Structure 1
Amino acid sequence: MSWLSVPKLIVLGLGMTAVLKLSVGLLPMAATAQTPASNAPLSLDIDPPAQAKIYDSTAPGSSGMCEPSHVIAEAIAEERALLNEQRQAVADSEARLTLAQESLKAEQLRLAKVRDEISAQLQLIQDANAQDMTKLVELYRNMKPQVAAGIMDEIDVETAVQVIGAMPERDAAQIMGAFSLVRARLITKIILERSKLPADRNLEGLRLR
């Protein structure tokens, strides 16, 4: 022990004391930390099994199961009946339309026939008038101007205008020269206004007789 001096012994003693204190302080803490983990009881929460849902096909509003076969059959029958009604309605409409078209075509043919008949009658009348006018003009042309003028002075002015208008200018001039002044002026005015449009004609102030 000669090589250890007193100061060294003092320092060594202090160090040993500090180590012992530190060890004593750490041991209770380690025991406290390990005790709950080793002694605490395990708790397991297990949920009860869920019950399976049971669907009732007869319950109203149930959509989990298919509809019964008789319900489906009734729905198909209703749809088929409705479709047949619609088809019948369409067929009836088409039949009415076809009948109307045939009636319209028959009416058009009838009107066309009536139109042709009227046109033929008008043509016959026009041809007859033209023939009569031609004969009448030839009769007055074969008369003496004074005699023809005397007759035309007594007939209606419309016929006189037509006859004078259908005559050649030389024959018409001779008869017009034999007319009375009033008659000649009247026929001249009518022939002049006849060539104008109806809205532009001015026959006021004319004395027909």
Structure 2
Amino acid sequence: MMNMTLSTLARRLALPLAGVVMLAIPGAFAEERPVVTTTTASGDEVREFCTNIADAARDQRYLLQKQELETLQKDVDERIKVLETRRAEYEDWLKRRNEFLKSAEAGLVEIYRKMKPDAAAGQLAELDPEIASAIVMKLPPRQSSTILGEMPADKAAALTRIIASATDPNTSKDPS
């Protein structure tokens, strides 16, 4: 009876023991799938294939980089054209401005030339000292001295300092 009990016991334990063993083994319930090989190439053949297409891949990369550089070059060229147009507009504006200033300056000097010295002195005393000194410098020396004589002493001295510094060869031409 003990023999039978052991065999019955063994049968009864065999199934749960098999389940425990199956749980302990990773992938025991995993479904086995066949390995699909797409090529029968060896490692050397794969390396040779990669070596053979490396030049084509490099050429393609260079082509893409070249296209990108050409696009960037077009953008730069367009910006240069815009800047050149703006530069030409600015140069034209500057030329017209300088011509206007020359004619205005000549007209302004002529106005002060025709004024009486006491009236010119009063007007120049109220102007910016640099502008006033530029006008006085362009007037004939006799008229300039008469105008400076009619001005308040401090204003005449300021204009004289500006005129003197403008004629000083040791003064820097660069205003900065």
TM-score (norm 1): 0.54
Task: Determine the C-alpha separation between the residues in 1 that align with 2:159 and 2:113.
Answer: 18
Alignment counterpart, residue 141 of structure 1, candidates 113, 116, 125: 113
Higher helix share: 2
Q: Which runs of 5+ in 2 are unaligned?
A: 1-39
In the comparison of the two structures, how many residue pairs are matched? 132
Query: Deviation per CA, 1:26-45, whole angstroms, max 9, x where unpaired?
Result: xxxxxxxxxxxxxxxxxxxx
4+ runs of 1 displaced by more than 6 Å?
Answer: none
Query: Deviation per CA, 1:38-67, whole angstroms, max 9, x where unpaired?
Result: xxxxxxxxxxxxxxxxxxxxxxxxxxxxxx
Q: CA distance change for structure 1 residues 197 and 124 in 2, over 3 Å: closer, same or farther?
A: same
Alignment counterpart, residue 197 of structure 1, candidates 169, 172, 175: 172
1:1-209 → structure 2 map (5 Å cutoff): 71=42, 76-195=48-167, 196-197=171-172
Percent of residue pairs identical: 23
> SS at the partner of 2:161?
helix
> SS at the partner of 2:126?
coil
Task: Determine the C-alpha separation between the residues in 1 that align with 2:140 and 2:93.
Answer: 29
> SS at the partner of 1:197?
coil
> SS at the partner of 1:183?
helix
> SS at the partner of 1:153?
helix
Deviates more, 1:181-190 or 1:75-84: 75-84
Task: Determine the C-alpha separation between the residues in 2 that align with 1:76 and 1:199.
Answer: 70
Query: Deviation per CA, 1:177-207, whole angstroms, max 9, x where unpaired?
Result: 222222211110111123421689xxxxxxx
Q: Which has the higher contact order (CA 8 A, sep 6+)?
A: 2
Task: Determine the C-alpha separation between the residues in 2 that align with 1:121 and 1:199.
Answer: 23
Which residue of the partner structure matches residue 28 of structure 1? Answer: none
CA RMSD of aligned residues (A): 2.6
Whose radius of gyration is greater, 1 or 2?
1
Task: Determine the C-alpha separation between the residues in 1 that align with 2:141 and 2:82.
Answer: 47
Give 1:83 deviation, angstroms: 2.5
Give 1:144 deviation, angstroms: 1.1
